[in-house]
Structure 1
């Protein structure tokens, strides 16, 4: 039986009402226990490096998640990261560059509604993410959300309310999960093992994204 490391970081999936709105409160163990359907799928280890709203996710937190994966890499067959949706695509992209050519899947997921909500999407997302992480053809970093698997460098949150929150930008989705079946498009094949996994241990903070719009003042560049 495969062994998966569940990495809980907070987000809507772990949130409860505290009188001032939603805030992360549930632990990774509590989230796993909320989905009894995952029992027996694999050996599941749970770690909790943080329990924060994903709007507070920072590059230093990306490094903490990366370190957890590196420390558990040899002992596990795959990784599922529970994460808030607002910055999930940023974390997925960062991990895609920090951990390259991984033959083991690193899957991010979360939910639009908290686990305790009677109409939550959290249970299905967690279940399908584990299914995807256990599949022998899965590798590298991806987001599994709303029944779709998206490459970690291609995901963008497009919707704030709908359960199909993410789209794949300029690249087809890797796969679709229908009940217990994973349907792949054939473009993101099995890891060939040609290159060993590569871990990087730093992020250069001297990066800024400037979006050009008609009439932008060149003086902005001097201010930067």
Structure 2
């Protein structure tokens, strides 16, 4: 029987009602007690990493989680991380970069209601997570939620209260759990060279969401303050003409200062393609910037954080590595470039 370590981090799944509102208070051991059927699935061990509302999660907490997995990696066959839903997609993406090529599953789950409530999704989500973690074909970082498996780099929380809170963006569900069985649609990847752990994330990053008529002067402030600017543009991606002069100016020194400029899109599905319209094509051809293509915003942000923390990498290396596929995070780039990036 597989040995699975559950890491508790707090979140709604572990919350209790207080006068101040829901607060994480249920221990990992108590969580397991709500799913007695798990004894037929695997041997469960528990460890409390932290105990926070996921709104309060920062890169420091990701570091704690990745270290906990690394420290216990040889002792267990898989891991289940209980997490709050609000930043769960960010954590799943971050851990996809901090724990790479893992032949053992790292499953992240949570709930929309506390596990001790009568009508809750928590018990199903938690049991499903152990079922997936104990399955022979499971590996890498994935989310299990509402009976669906979502690749760690492809999730987005799209519903605030409903049990089907998360969607897989620009990528199919690799598997589902039905009647306590894993049904796979995509075969697992084969890895060579062993798992790789990374524990540092650089948080000098800002996401600028464009709105019609935004003041160009904001660019001076942001590019001076942050190492990476992610610009959420409109449609398939472009820079409005009233921003172009200022954008070209701030971009001149971007590469020499080791800074990253990334153009994304506000449209959730189908991704960017700056070469379609004049407002994007000229900028893409003239300037040394990156484009997200089919990546989620959560994956874009956490991948940039991971890259900027790599002290061994040059600016050119960071740009090249940004387009390397990690846990299915970016596929559209390969199609448009006519090349294949390795895992």
- Is TM > 0.5 for Structure 1 vs Structure 2? yes
Matched, 1:111 2:111: yes
Q: How big is the shift at 1:204?
A: 1.5
Q: How big is the shift at 1:215?
A: 2.2
Distance change >3 Å, CA 20–CA 201, structure 1 → 2: closer
Moved beyond 3 Å, runs of 4+: none
TM-score by length of structure 2 reads 0.63
Q: How big is the shift at 1:161?
A: 1.3
CA distance in 1, matches of 2:101, 2:205: 24
Q: Tell me if the contact between 1:78 and 1:134 (Cα under 8 Å) persists in the aligned partners.
A: yes
**How many residue pairs end up in the alignment?**
222
Look up the SS of the partner of 1:48 in the other structure. strand
- Give unpaired runs (5+ residues) of structure 2: 223-343
Match of 1:166 in 2: 166
Which structure features the higher share of helix residues?
2
CA distance in 1, matches of 2:39, 2:115: 17
Q: Tell me if the contact between 1:92 and 1:152 (Cα under 8 Å) persists in the aligned partners.
A: yes
Q: How big is the shift at 1:37?
A: 1.1
Q: How big is the shift at 1:213?
A: 3.0
CA distance in 2, matches of 1:195, 1:30: 37
Q: Tell me if the contact between 1:137 and 1:191 (Cα under 8 Å) persists in the aligned partners.
A: no
Q: Tell me if the contact between 1:12 and 1:110 (Cα under 8 Å) persists in the aligned partners.
A: yes
Give the alignment's Cα RMSD to 1 decimal: 1.1
CA distance in 2, matches of 1:131, 1:32: 13
Greater Rg by CA? 2
Look up the SS of the partner of 1:156 in the other structure. strand
Look up the SS of the partner of 2:80 in the other structure. strand
Look up the SS of the partner of 1:39 in the other structure. helix
Look up the SS of the partner of 2:85 in the other structure. coil
CA distance in 1, matches of 2:58, 2:171: 26
Matched, 1:135 2:138: no
* Larger relative contact order (Cα-Cα within 8 Å, sequence gap ≥ 6): 1
Look up the SS of the partner of 1:93 in the other structure. helix
CA distance in 2, matches of 1:210, 1:74: 41
Matched, 1:71 2:71: yes
Residue 214 of structure 1, aligned match among 203, 212, 224: 212
Q: How big is the shift at 1:194?
A: 2.1
Q: How big is the shift at 1:45?
A: 1.1
Over residues 120-173 of structure 1, what are the superposed CA-to-partner deviations in whole Å (9 max), with x where a residue is unaligned?
A: 110000000000011111111011000000000010001011111000011111
CA distance in 2, matches of 1:223, 1:29: 48
- Give unpaired runs (5+ residues) of structure 1: none
Matched, 1:19 2:19: yes
Q: How big is the shift at 1:28?
A: 0.3
Q: For residues 85-104 of structure 1, what are the structure 2 equivalents within 5 Å?
A: 85-104=85-104
Match of 2:184 in 1: 184
Match of 2:145 in 1: 145
CA distance in 2, matches of 1:97, 1:219: 34
TM-score by length of structure 1 reads 0.96
CA distance in 2, matches of 1:185, 1:99: 23
